[in-house]
Structure 1
Amino acid sequence: MGDYVRRVIDAELDELLPGLTATALEGPRAVGKTVTAARRANSVFALDDPVQRKLLAAEPLRIEAVEPPVLVDEWQLYPGIWDTVRRSVDREQVPGRYLLTGSAAPIQAPMHTGAGRIVSLRMRPMSLAERLVAPPTVSLRRLLDGDNATIDGETTVGLSQYADEIVRSGFPGIRDLPPKVRRAQLDAYINRIVARDFPEQGHQVRKPQTLRAWLAAYAAATATTASYTSILDAATAGGTDKPGKDTTMAYRDVLAQLWLLEPVPAWLPFRNQFTRLGSAPKHHLADPALAARLLGADAGALLDGTAAGSPRVRDGVLLGQLFEALVTLDLQVYAQAAEARLHHLRTRNGDHEVDLIVERADHRIVAVEVKLAQQVEDSDVVHLKWLRDQIGPDLLDAVVITTGPYAYRRPDGIAVVPAALLGP
């Protein structure tokens, strides 16, 4: 743990643990939940160890007899421990006593949700700021303050490094491996999803190749609102034995239980009445590296547009979709830390679209466009200006995220920020 890189969620834990008896870190495998939680624990129950799991099942109240803080790692493998922790919280509230980590929703759900006793936080793959790609100079929290934050900074990070960051992933144990080893690890990660995680979630995959094809088609739909019908059609192009709707919906449900899907919901304004807004979510896997690997795209293929064998859900540049996915991952991490939520906006006929909407609890927003370009032209901010005209002071700020070198504010007030310079 000497090389531990502090995560954005560490600041959340610093704020929350002194006031909470039990906290659960949830997210996909390999995002670093165990390492982050273990740094704060004096006692650990590793439930992916069958022996420890059996011992705890035989004597659940051992969690009260050991030195706190107590980490219960991979709690979903023994769902009953959730209710044990909840009852322990009811008996005695001691700040920072329990940390639970989970990589999947348990098949057998606990009897009680834990509401009011156990607070859940989602942990995601590493953002660009956590990867130490460049020192951030623009804070999302400041943008959400709505005080016309100063926008400045310069970076040498360019398109090729963003492509490299996409394929390296935000999984801390994978991203720094040699390229061939990293690809093998990502392949193993995907293989585990199909061969082990689905059965462990109670879903037997009769045709693994069909699930893999559907995953690749979903990856090709990254950052789009493509219908599930079109995703299925892309996955089974030329085939006659297509899986039924129930099967493909089961794919989606299990992947969501594994925290591997993080669709961005459509924005539904609270105070401003828009008409003809789309309601479909934008599709995203937990890490754009998984999408790139499913599509057989390395950094070179992304840069020259030759990702082989990619199912087509829509025309477009795959690198643009995955760059938006990388920015979306960053904003998910930073927005959670700022107690905000991420959405997107698209009118039904597509005449207006804003890539990402970061919404505060009071429903005021920061609007974000993502551009795979170094320069921002007037045509790139048309939809941001339209939105500003529509909602007035409810728009706290408007930003274009680019691959360029400079952060600055345009004469029209719209901020231009390289992805590498955006931080929490």
Structure 2
Amino acid sequence: MGGYVPRLLDAELADVVATHPAVLVVGPRACGKTTTTRRHCRSVLRLDVPAQAALARVDPDVALRGLEEPVLIDEWQVVPEILGAVKRAVDDDPRPGRFVLTGSAQADLTSSGWPATGRIVRLTMFPLVGRERHGDAAAPSLIDRLFSDGADVLADSAVDQDVEGYVTEALTSGWPEALRVPTDRARDRWLRGYVDHLATREALALGLARDPSRLRRYLQAVAANTAGTPTHKLLYDAAGIDRATAVGYDTLLESLMITQRVPSWAGNRTDRALRLPKRFLIDPGLLGPLLLVDHRRALRDPDLLGRTLDTLVAAQFRAECTVSTIGADLFHLRDANGRREIDLIIESRDGHVLAIEVKATSSPSSHDARHLEWLRDQLGNRFTMGLVVHTGPRVFRLADRVLAVPLAALWSSALR
């Protein structure tokens, strides 16, 4: 992978820079925030450079003065006082396109207050997904297109991909640096180093006291249950820690955007908080270093294969939700007795629903669509479409408003 890879966030970031004075881009470490934001800015204040950080500490207002705008303030958390200077600059002159900030999630974890509330727009960036790696990142959100155009979005041409290719896609990860290295061995080394950094340095850099071995065990427990709905007790027992410690680890890992809890969906919103969330690794490439598996192991283990593909599909839709202009939120569905489960539910702000099932098969049948048909019958016109995402080559109809869709059709030229 050479040169700049266009990102889903590019269009949204350009729009925010054109209409707001300041924007903060958040995302997991090394997902490409600095590379992308630099393309939208005319000057850079790098606070990870000691000389530039020293000036910002002495007088953050002076550090910003005279820089050509938009100014990228990279690694803002190194000198948190810079946020106050941004606030003052925006208060004095609220022209659009003045500042773009990037950095860690330190404010979410350690700051007692956020001095720029109401003055900085927050955007979210994730590791590379399929549409950025193989498709058209400049196209409108897939979610918006599915809600507006339905089945017409999906072409019926064959997709040249199989289950082995999908597992390889998942385990190579979406981190740009990991994808740039020339060999599988080098990529594995980079991903193992990423996990080691999370466990041994990231928490300490945020001023949080964590036991690296216990944090790693807890993250391994989450990885083993990615795309599942484990009880919290199952996870902290597996890691050999107590509940209070596990709660702290959850806060840390979610703030660092390494894990996500997807809430349960129900027709009555008040029911959602009463049900177990579905847990995901943000990127399936972390499965390799955490569980010590490769694509051959995943292909031999049906449970691991299913979790790998589910995590890959969730990554695509999570990223699409962040750039949706109609507004969309991600859920999962599991009824009270566990007889009906749907892997992902995407609800638009007007209450319409897309439902997704992920199946590790190249030939899905109407049996695989039964829970989607049940939800369709429950929701009526609110049910826009159900997708059975599979590893075969073609799009085809399984039932009214329910399609079988190859996983690669979520990002490939098979999208009209």
**TM-score when scaled to structure 1?**
0.89
- Could you say which residue in structure 2 is the equivalent of 1:301? 297
Partner SS, residue 173 of structure 1:
helix
- Equivalent residue for 2:209? 204
- The 5 A counterparts of 1:2-401 are 3-61=3-61, 62-106=63-107, 107-109=109-111, 111-112=113-114, 114-132=116-134, 139-145=142-148, 147-152=150-155, 153-177=157-181, 178-206=183-211, 208-236=212-240, 243-269=241-267, 279-305=275-301, 317-338=303-324, 339-401=327-389
1:278–1:346 CA contact under 8 A, matched in 2: no
- 1:163-192, Cα deviation, whole Å (9 max, x unpaired): 111111000111242111111111111111
Kindly tell me: are residues 221 and 2 of structure 1, through their superposed partners in 2, closer, same or farther at Cα, counting changes over 3 Å?
A: closer
Distance 1:266 1:195 in 2: 32
Q: 2:392, 2:281 → 1: CA distance?
A: 25
1:347-367 per-residue CA deviation (whole Å, 9 max, x = no partner) reads 121111111111111121111
Letter in 2 for 1:337: V
* Cα shift at 1:47: 1.7
Structure 1 residue 113: Cα displacement: 5.6
SS of alignment partner, residue 404 of structure 2: strand
Specify which of 389, 393, 398 is matched with residue 405 of structure 1: 393
How many angstroms does 1:124 deviate by? 0.3
Shift of 1:77: 2.1
Please say which of residues 29-38 and 174-183 is displaced more in the overlay: 174-183
Question: d(CA) in 2 for partners of 1:33 and 1:92?
Answer: 26
1-structure distance, mates of 2:150, 2:217: 47
Q: Which runs of 5+ in 1 are unaligned?
A: 237-242, 306-315
Deviation at 1:70, TM superposition (A): 0.4
Deviation for aligned residue 1:276: 9.4
Q: Is the 8 A contact 1:201 1:254 kept in 2?
A: no
Q: What secondary structure does 1:94 align onto?
A: coil
Shift of 1:393: 0.9
Q: Distance in 2 between matches of 1:364 and 1:114?
A: 34
Shift of 1:278: 5.8
Deviates more, 1:79-88 or 1:146-155: 146-155
Relative to 1, partners in 2 of residues 1:151 and 1:138: Cα closer, same or farther, differing over 3 Å?
Answer: farther
**What is the alpha-carbon distance in structure 2 between the residues aligned to residue 171 and residue 384 of structure 1?**
33
Contact kept in structure 1, 2:27 and 2:257, CA below 8 Å: yes
CA-CA distance at 1:290 after TM superposition: 0.9
Contact 2:145 2:153 in 1 (8 A): no
Q: Measured at CA, do residues 47 and 110 of structure 1 come closer, stay the same or move farther in structure 2, by a change above 3 Å?
A: farther
Contact 1:356 1:369 in 2 (8 A): yes
Matched-pair identity in %: 35
Which aligned segments of 4 or more residues in structure 1 are displaced greater than 4 angstroms? 133-138, 275-278
Choose between structure 1 and 2: higher helix proportion. Answer: 2
The structure-2 alpha-carbon separation of the partners of 1:121 and 1:270, relative to structure 1 and needing over 3 Å to count, comes to farther
